[in-house]
Amino acid sequence: EERRRREEREERREADRLEREERERIRNEVAEAAERRREHDIKESRELREAQQRSDAAREASLAMDREDNRRRYEERLAMERAEARERHEQLMLMLSKQNKD
């Protein structure tokens, strides 16, 4: 009788040990899966942030080019208007000079 009880206790202990090991294995698998998801989310977030930064940089570069083009066109227009004003002034001076000679 004592031997049978001892064997039953040993069987229960073994079953408990196996159950604990199984729970620990499952807990580890769940933790590893959660860690993989977390790392994936971090990587995805970093990639999205980098893509947004590239997009922002491209947009800023485009705006800078547009500003530079606008500045260049403004300076060209200003130079042309100055040249035209200078030419009109010279023509006016010639006309006045001719009138004074007559």
Q: Could you list the pLDDT tens digit for every one of the 102 residues in the chain?
A: 899 999 999 999 999 999 999 999 999 999 999 999 999 999 999 999 999 999 999 999 999 999 999 999 999 999 999 999 999 999 999 999 999 887
What per-residue confidence (pLDDT) applies to 47?
Answer: 98
* Coil vs helix vs strand at 8: helix
Specify the number of domains making up the chain: 1
Domain holding 4, by residue range, is 1-102
Q: Which two tokens stand for residue 43?
A: 């990587």
Cα 98 from Cα 25, distance rounded (Å): 108
Q: What is the biggest distance separating any 2 CA atoms in the chain, rounded to whole angstroms?
A: 149
What per-residue confidence (pLDDT) applies to 60?
Answer: 98
